[in-house]
A and B are shown apart, each in its own frame.
Chain A
Amino acid sequence: MLEIINLSKRYDNGVLAVDRLNLTVEAGEIFVMLGANGAGKTTTMMCVLGFTEPTEGTAKIMGVDITKNPLEAKKHVAYVSENVRLYGNFTAKQNLDFFTRLAGRSHVSTKEYDQVLERVGLERDAFNRRLKGFSKGMRQRLGIAIAIMKQAEVILLDEPTSGLDPKGGVEFLQLLAELRQEDKAIFMTSHDIFRAREIADRVGIMSNGQMLHVIARKEIDDRQVDLSDLYIRVIEMGLKNAKSTVEAATGSAS
């Protein structure tokens, strides 16, 4: 489980990138954080990974505080970045082997590597090919394979679907659904409203460092909410008017 508790980050230049963010992602849940560039999504993720020290608040991964015990907390989290580049001189398997061993898993069989690479949809002939010739989609799949091999309870995905072709996007969402089935807590940032609509259990809308609104999948389905419309309205109106905006968009007074 991932908990973000009253997290704020103000940079040295005075910019408040994240403002008192509170969020929980449970096991077996996919939370998608939607927001424009500069909304604070990546800063949130960097704080959760311990790469950026929060000005206030903290994040806990499986109950372990990232600011107090980062090495222990990182044992429980896997990360997939927007641009999975990896080591170009290595083959897919060599990359996978390195990161798996780095995650503390040794004595992993070749068969297991093959299985996970197949699972993420990488062509068999690419397993032993150098990454230099890989497309972005192929690298992204390998990034997911690395995250899977870590066997972490929490998976953080930073804009993972950007640049994926439609087929790749669909397969990627299927894979996320499978991981949800395996009780992983998945926290994903995205610009992609349509894919968020398809896969997310909850969607958070973030702007100027603030979480303006969080809406559950059930609510979206029950009220036939147009997520794109909601997103645009919420962003335009800002936090003060978010509640009324949401009510207008979802047709609820709750």
Chain B
Amino acid sequence: MFAVLVKKEILNNILSFRFAVTFLLFFLLISGSMVMMAANHSKQMHDYYNLTAAYRQRVEQMRDFQEFEIFGMTSRRRPNPLSAVAMGLEPDMSRSVTNSLWQDIEIGGSPYANPLFALFSTPDVTYVISIIVSLLAILFVFDAVCGEKEEETLKLMLSNSVPRDTVLMGKCVGALACLYASLFISLGSGLVAARVISSLAFSGTEWLRMGGLFLVVLLYISVFVMLGLFISTSTQRSGTSLMISLLVWVVLVLGVPNLVPVVARQIVPLPSMARLAGEERAIHEEEWGNIRQRLREARTQEERRELITEARQAIERRLGMLRDNYENRYIQQATLAKMISRVSPSACFTYASTALALTGIDTYTDFVRYVYLDFRSRFERGIAELRRDRRSRESEVGAIDFERLPKFEPENDTIQLSFKHALTDIGLLCAYNMLFFLTAFVKFLRYDVK
């Protein structure tokens, strides 16, 4: 019985104009996005190799180590191939990082960023799925039940000895089979085309990550199918169901993820950067003001030096507290925003997919931490060691051995850790599936088929 229902649903879907449009859009958008992003990645890789080689050549041409110290060291992060699928925060990480002994470490602009992607949302596969596929999924099933009621086929179907739960399951599986098949074909074609026209290649681990990503995509599409079924079983007319579906989609996919940061800013306000700078200035003035009189009265140079050190330490301590406080509030705000935004399956999908593709918030935070903490100290240590070594060999002037320079190697999460980061959102997507299916199920059991 179940197989009969599933077969009918699939056939009915495949023969519909709606499916033709859905399939065409899936194919064009997903495959197109794959190809475009893969080409973009190839260009990024090309730029990365060229810029790294040019920099190396320049460093190796330097004869004076001091010149190198002033010129500084510019490092680049290797573009992530998975960003062709889920761009996430990759544009904020594919940047040059410049270190020199004369100025603090600095993250520069991305040398290979596509300005069009900054102007509009990056049309990567996860974006297409998050916005367009979710809309198509909900539009695919919005009249699954109420439409059949209007057509009176539901009455005829249920006049047979068929349990309602079987009918609903049949609709669910039938719709998912059609959407998943369209997705498989589109994504598969996109990957093949991307491989042919670009240098995009995934390692074994990256394929595993792709597998995880694919699972998240399946769950995400399924959420909107279940939601559509729920709305369809809660309404009597397909027109009403369509309006409600669109409204719910707008709220969940466009509204919540965009509004949540604003709400979080209201709940946990952060002082402006200008105010922070003002407070920092005030600390400086206050601490220096505190010792001004004592400095004047100091009799020896030693005493003066001690007072200055004391003031510096006090400033450092207070500035540290101020920055810690700011950072804590910033983390609080970000955590709150993330937590609230998870009301939206779209946000969960973005968090989970970018976590698996190593383009998410955790990877970005790790990257920034690596740049400002690990790499800065590693650079300072490495350069000092190199200088000592050159001095001991009395070779202050001479070619710089590029291979001996500190390596810029931000570590990525292991696949296990990425899954761990994505687990909450994967769990939530599963929970949304269950919730919408169960509510649809309960609604359908009581559905008035007359």
A residues sitting closer than 8 Å to B (CB atoms) are 42, 46, 49, 51-52, 71-72, 74-75, 77-79, 81, 83-90, 94, 98-99, 101-104, 143, 146, 150, 156
B8, B156, B163: the one contacting A146 at CB < 8 Å is: B156
B156 touching A71 by the CB < 8 A rule? no
A102 touching B152 by the CB < 8 A rule? no
A52, A75, A94, A104: the one contacting B450 at CB < 8 Å is: A52
B160 touching A99 by the CB < 8 A rule? yes
B11 touching A90 by the CB < 8 A rule? yes
B5, B11, B15, B450: the one contacting A46 at CB < 8 Å is: B450
The answer to whether the Cβ of B297 comes within 8 Å of any Cβ in the partner chain is no
B8 touching A98 by the CB < 8 A rule? yes
B residues sitting closer than 8 Å to A (CB atoms) are 1, 4-5, 8, 11-12, 15-16, 151-153, 155-163, 448-450
B153 touching A86 by the CB < 8 A rule? yes
On whether A81 and B156 interact (CB within 8 A), knowing A52-B450, A102-B4, the answer reads yes
A51 touching B161 by the CB < 8 A rule? no
A83 touching B4 by the CB < 8 A rule? no
Q: Which residues of B contact A143 (CB under 8 A)?
A: 156
A150–B157 Cα gap in the complex (Å)? 12
A87 touching B152 by the CB < 8 A rule? no
A-B contact pairs, 7 of them (CB 8 A): A51-B155, A71-B162, A75-B161, A84-B152, A89-B11, A89-B15, A102-B1
A74 touching B159 by the CB < 8 A rule? yes
A51 touching B4 by the CB < 8 A rule? no
A42, A71, A79, A81: the one contacting B163 at CB < 8 Å is: A71
Q: Which residues of B contact A103 (CB under 8 A)?
A: 160-161
Q: Which residues of B contact A71 (CB under 8 A)?
A: 161-163
A46, A75, A78, A87: the one contacting B153 at CB < 8 Å is: A87
Within the complex, what minimum Cβ distance (angstroms) separates A36 from chain B? 18
Residue of B nearest to A52 (CB): B450
B5, B11, B163, B449: the one contacting A51 at CB < 8 Å is: B449
Within the complex, what minimum Cβ distance (angstroms) separates B145 from chain A? 14
Residue of A nearest to B167 (CB): A102
Within the complex, what minimum Cβ distance (angstroms) separates A186 from chain B? 15
A49–B158 Cα gap in the complex (Å)? 9
Additional A-B contacts beyond A87-B12, A98-B8, A102-B5 (11; CB < 8 A): A51-B158, A71-B161, A74-B161, A84-B156, A88-B151, A89-B11, A89-B15, A94-B11, A103-B161, A104-B160, A146-B156
A98 touching B449 by the CB < 8 A rule? no
Q: Which residues of A contact B1 (CB under 8 A)?
A: 102, 104
A77–B155 Cα gap in the complex (Å)? 13
A99 touching B161 by the CB < 8 A rule? no
Within the complex, what minimum Cβ distance (angstroms) separates A46 from chain B? 5
Task: Select the residue from B155, B157, B161, B163 with max chain A CB neighbours within 10 A.
Answer: B161
Within the complex, what minimum Cβ distance (angstroms) separates A215 from chain B? 29
Q: Which residues of B contact A156 (CB under 8 A)?
A: 159
On whether A89 and B155 interact (CB within 8 A), knowing A51-B450, A72-B161, the answer reads no
B5, B12, B152: the one contacting A81 at CB < 8 Å is: B152
A52, A74, A83, A89: the one contacting B160 at CB < 8 Å is: A74
Within the complex, what minimum Cβ distance (angstroms) separates B38 from chain A? 37
A201–B39 Cα gap in the complex (Å)? 78
Within the complex, what minimum Cβ distance (angstroms) separates A240 from chain B? 30
A85 touching B160 by the CB < 8 A rule? no
A99–B155 Cα gap in the complex (Å)? 12
Residue of B nearest to A82 (CB): B152
Task: Select the residue from B156, B162, B163 with max chain A CB neighbours within 10 A.
Answer: B156
A89–B18 Cα gap in the complex (Å)? 11
A85 touching B15 by the CB < 8 A rule? no
Residue of B nearest to A87 (CB): B12
Q: Which residues of A contact B152 (CB under 8 A)?
A: 81, 83-85
Q: Which residues of B contact A85 (CB under 8 A)?
A: 151-153
Within the complex, what minimum Cβ distance (angstroms) separates A22 from chain B? 23
B159 touching A79 by the CB < 8 A rule? yes
A33–B120 Cα gap in the complex (Å)? 66
B162 touching A102 by the CB < 8 A rule? yes
Within the complex, what minimum Cβ distance (angstroms) separates A49 from chain B? 5
A84–B155 Cα gap in the complex (Å)? 10
Residue of B nearest to A72 (CB): B161
B16 touching A81 by the CB < 8 A rule? no
Residue of A nearest to B163 (CB): A71
A42, A89, A150: the one contacting B12 at CB < 8 Å is: A89
A72–B16 Cα gap in the complex (Å)? 33
Q: Which residues of A contact B11 (CB under 8 A)?
A: 89-90, 94
A104–B4 Cα gap in the complex (Å)? 10
A83–B163 Cα gap in the complex (Å)? 23
Q: Which residues of B contact A89 (CB under 8 A)?
A: 11-12, 15-16
A146–B155 Cα gap in the complex (Å)? 13
A156–B448 Cα gap in the complex (Å)? 19
A75–B163 Cα gap in the complex (Å)? 12
A86 touching B159 by the CB < 8 A rule? no
B12 touching A102 by the CB < 8 A rule? no
Q: Which residues of B contact A99 (CB under 8 A)?
A: 156-157, 160
Within the complex, what minimum Cβ distance (angstroms) separates B301 from chain A? 95
Within the complex, what minimum Cβ distance (angstroms) separates A58 from chain B? 17
Q: Which residues of A contact B16 (CB under 8 A)?
A: 89
Q: Which residues of A contact B151 (CB under 8 A)?
A: 85-88
Q: Which residues of B contact A52 (CB under 8 A)?
A: 450
Within the complex, what minimum Cβ distance (angstroms) separates A140 from chain B? 12
A133–B207 Cα gap in the complex (Å)? 49
A91–B161 Cα gap in the complex (Å)? 23
Within the complex, what minimum Cβ distance (angstroms) separates A171 from chain B? 21
A49–B449 Cα gap in the complex (Å)? 11
A98–B5 Cα gap in the complex (Å)? 8
A79 touching B153 by the CB < 8 A rule? no
A156–B161 Cα gap in the complex (Å)? 15
On whether A90 and B156 interact (CB within 8 A), knowing A51-B450, A71-B161, A85-B151, the answer reads no
Task: Select the residue from A84, A99, A156 with max chain B CB neighbours within 10 A.
Answer: A99
Q: Which residues of A contact B161 (CB under 8 A)?
A: 71-72, 74-75, 103-104
